[in-house]
Structure 1
Amino acid sequence: MKAIVLMTGLLLLTGCAGQPPEGLARLLGGGSCGKPAADQQLSLDMADQMIGEGRPHAGLAHLEQLPESLDQVRLRKAKVLRLLGRSEAEPLYRSLLGGCLAAEGEHGLGQIAAARGDDTQALRNLQRAARLAPTDEKVRNDLGLVQMKLGNDEQARFEFLTALELKDDNPLPAVNLVALSLLQDNWNQAEDLVKRLRLKPEQFAEAQARAQQLRAGGRGPLAARSTPTAAIN
């Protein structure tokens, strides 16, 4: 009973800020979201379709006719605004913390932090997202990317392998695994991955570009070498 009273008091003390403190938000996060009304769901589906077709502004317009009290609306708006480079995305993601979409909120905040080069903050957000949604392969892949950028190669490999095993038709973790091998100048391992994961030439080129980019960021020069034969078959 005392614990309930204490938690209620904490919530009341933070009510003016619009959300519970970060530690409490993690404690309260999760649960299932309320189901939108039929007409609201139709607008959400329409927005998803337009965003998927590369029409983010139109998708945002459909979302703006829906109440922001719905977590699903705030999440979609946050995603679109982040893709458009708008600063309004961050407070929308923050508004999800402590609710039914807390993992998505942490994930989005991690992506924003990574985009502005704050990998330490991105790591914190993405680790919290992974704890809240451990089977979300997109979270695990993004967490692996940040670990790789920070030089935590073994942790990065673990996250990429987890993401790949969770959803083996997602090419991003596979590309990142190859990039990690190239970053370590382990070409034999990279060639083996290309064969086993059946990467296409353009995917291997993407892995090379990613490794080169990370090298340019301070991890030393990538040794010149031709494309593995398996990547062009």
Structure 2
Amino acid sequence: MKAVIAITATIMLAGCATNGLSSQPAICAKPASEQELALNLADNMANEGRLYASLANLEGLPDNLVQVRLRKARVLRLMGRKDAEPLYQSLLGTCLAADGEHGLGQLAAAKNDYASATTHLERAVKMAPTDDKMRNDLGVVYLNQRRIPEARFEFMTAMELKQTDSLAALNMVTLLIYQDNWKAASELVTRADLSPKQFAEAQIRAEKLKASTNKVVASEGNRRTEVADASSSAIK
């Protein structure tokens, strides 16, 4: 799937521990073999875009399994339904707390609530520091806030964690073009084997980010803040 920073698109991001932080037991209980097969089938359907079929399969599984609640939350989020949020919240304090924080961060980013998105995604990354998608999504939120050094760090980390995935690489190209670092952007396009179409898309999005930045500067007097939304494929 394409992974890009867009300006006007919509995002495709138990108990709580004290002080607002979630604890995460190390290991989830393994589902029964037939349940695992059903979960894999639901995953495949969701990845193919068959969200309603995926949800139908998940509805036949018990909600006391955190793996079921996580997948339901993801499908409902992709459908744009509000009932994804309580499902993500139910994962906090469980073995999938990082995924719960990740999902809550994605939902917050979809509403342009970047402060909340940052809080949730930073918690997710702290609990699951080697998850490339969480690192990428945090980078997207940082970039939308023009926190360039932090965004660069997260994209670079995601790229090195999963070198076969172009998601973070394409977002990094957008960041480099935004900084007018065309040489580095071109080198990364070659190294990551991105297509000319992807490079063109990154350029368009970087220019939109620049235009949005100029609007922020122009409206500083009345304290307005305009930031880019993350595209459905930039955050997974």
TM-score, length-scaled by structure 2: 0.80
Query: Whose RCO is larger (CA < 8 A, sep 6+)?
Result: 2
**CA displacement, residues 129-186 of structure 1 (integer Å, 9 cap, x when unaligned):** 0000000000000111111111110111111110000001110111111100111122
Superposed, which structure 2 residues align to 1:108-127 within 5 Å?
108-127=103-122
2:76 equivalent to 1:74: no
C-alpha distance in 2 between matches for 1:213 and 1:30 = 42
Distance (Å, rounded) in 1 between the aligned partners of 2:184 and 2:215: 19
Superposed displacement of residue 212, structure 1: 3.0
The alignment partner of 1:66 has SS state of coil
> Which residue does 1:23 correspond to in 2?
19
**Which of the two has higher C-alpha Rg?**
1
CA distance in 1, matches of 2:198, 2:184: 16
TM-score (norm 1): 0.81
Which amino acid in 2 is paired with 1:70?
L
In structure 1, what residue type is equivalent to 2:133? K
1:40 counterpart = 2:35: yes
CA-based RMSD of the aligned residues comes to 1.8
Q: CA deviation at 1:202?
A: 1.8
Q: Which residue of 1 aligns with 2:153?
A: 158
Greater share of residues in helix: 1
Q: Which residue of the other structure, out of 137, 144, 148, is the alignment partner of 2:139?
A: 144
Indicate conservation of the 8 Å contact 1:30/1:103, yes or no: no
Stretches (4+) displaced over 4 A: none
Structure 2 residue matching 1:127: 3-state secondary structure? helix
Aligned residues of 1:137 and 1:166 also touching (Cα < 8 A): yes
Consecutive unaligned residues in structure 1, runs of 5 or more: 1-17, 222-233
- Shift in Å, 1:41: 1.5
8 Å CA contact retained: 2:21, 2:123: no
Q: 207-216 vs 39-48, which deviates more?
A: 207-216
What percentage of residue pairs aligned between the two structures are identical?
A: 53
For these two proteins, the number of residue pairs brought into alignment is 203
Instruction: Indicate if the aligned counterparts of 1:31 and 1:99 stay in contact, CA closer than 8 A.
Output: no
Q: Conserved in 2, the CA contact under 8 Å of 1:78 and 1:93?
A: yes
Matching of residue 200 in structure 1 with residue 195 in structure 2: yes
Unpaired runs of at least 5, structure 2: 1-13, 217-236
Amino acid at match of 2:70: L
